[in-house]
Structure 1
Amino acid sequence: MAPLGKAISVGYDGPPNADTKIFRGDIDAEWTVGNVPNGGYVLALVLDACIRHQAPTPHRDPIHVSAHFLQATSIAPFEVHVRTLRKGRGFTNVLADLVQQDRTRITSHLIFGSLEPPRLVPPSRYARRLPLYAHPSAAVDTPMARPWRFKEHIRWAADPQLRAQNSPDSPTRTSSATIGGGGLVWGAWFELTGADDHVTPASIAFLADTFINLPSLLPRSERNGLVSGETWFPTMTLSIEFKAPIPPPSERHSARTVGLYSTGTFWGEPQGRHDAYVEIWTAPSNLGVGKEKDGWRDDQFCLATATQMALAMPMAVNAARAKYDAPKAKL
Structure 2
Amino acid sequence: MAEATSIPAAAPASIGDSEFDRDTAVTRREPGVYDIELSAGWTIINAVNGGYLLAVLGRALADALPHSDPFTVSAHYLTASHPGPAVIRTDTARAGRTLSTGQASLFQYDEEGREVERIRVLASYGDLDALPDDVRTTAKPPALPPLEQCFGPQDAPDHRPVPGSSAISDRLFLKLDPSTLGWALGQPSGKGEMRSWFGLADGRDADPFSLLLAVDALPPTAFELGLSGWVPTVELTVHVRARPAPGPLRVSITTRNLAGGFLEEDAEVWDSEDRLVAQSRQLARARLS
TM over 0.5: yes
Structure 2 unaligned blocks of 5 or more = 1-17, 110-114
Alignment CA distance shift 1:191-1:117 (3 Å): farther
TM-score w.r.t. length of structure 2: 0.79
Query: How many equivalent pairs are there?
Result: 254
Please name the residue that 1:280 is paired with.
269
The alignment partner of 2:208 has SS state of coil
Please name the residue that 1:73 is paired with.
81
Please name the residue that 1:105 is paired with.
118
Please name the residue that 1:241 is paired with.
239
Identical columns (%): 25
Question: After superposition, what is the alpha-carbon deviation per residue over 1:212-263, rounded to whole angstroms, capped at 9, x for unaligned?
Answer: 3232102xxxx4xx4x2xx12111100000111123x3xxxx1xx2111011
Alignment CA distance shift 1:163-1:301 (3 Å): farther
Report matched runs for 1:137-156 at 5 Å.
138-143=148-153, 145=160, 147=162, 148-156=166-174
The higher radius of gyration belongs to 1
Alignment CA distance shift 1:26-1:237 (3 Å): same
For residues 95 and 84 of structure 1, the distance between their equivalents in structure 2, rounded to whole angstroms, comes to 7
For residues 118 and 69 of structure 1, the distance between their equivalents in structure 2, rounded to whole angstroms, comes to 34
Alignment CA distance shift 1:160-1:65 (3 Å): same
Counterpart of 1:3, as a letter, is E
Counterpart of 1:141, as a letter, is F
Alignment CA distance shift 1:246-1:133 (3 Å): closer
Q: Is the 8 A contact 1:186 1:263 kept in 2?
A: yes
Alignment CA distance shift 1:114-1:3 (3 Å): closer
Q: Is the 8 A contact 1:39 1:235 kept in 2?
A: yes
Deviation at 1:312, TM superposition (A): 2.6
TM-score w.r.t. length of structure 1: 0.69
1:214 aligns with 2:227: no
Alignment CA distance shift 1:117-1:3 (3 Å): farther
Structure 1 unaligned blocks of 5 or more = 174-182, 284-298, 316-331
Question: After superposition, what is the alpha-carbon deviation per residue over 1:242-296, rounded to whole angstroms, capped at 9, x for unaligned?
Answer: 111123x3xxxx1xx2111011011122xx311100011113xxxxxxxxxxxxx
For residues 221 and 207 of structure 2, the distance between their equivalents in structure 1, rounded to whole angstroms, comes to 27
Report matched runs for 1:1-331 at 5 Å.
3-14=19-30, 18=31, 21-54=32-65, 57=66, 59-101=67-109, 102-115=115-128, 116=131, 119-120=134-135, 126-136=137-147, 138-143=148-153, 145=160, 147=162, 148-161=166-179, 184-195=192-203, 197-218=204-225, 223=226, 226=227, 228=228, 231-247=229-245, 249=246, 254=247, 257-269=248-260, 272-283=261-272, 299-313=273-287
Deviation at 1:149, TM superposition (A): 1.5
Q: Is the 8 A contact 1:5 1:198 kept in 2?
A: no
Counterpart of 1:246, as a letter, is P
Alignment CA distance shift 1:152-1:240 (3 Å): same
Higher strand share: 2
Q: Is the 8 A contact 1:10 1:49 kept in 2?
A: yes
For residues 208 and 261 of structure 1, the distance between their equivalents in structure 2, rounded to whole angstroms, comes to 9
Q: Is the 8 A contact 2:199 2:206 kept in 1?
A: no
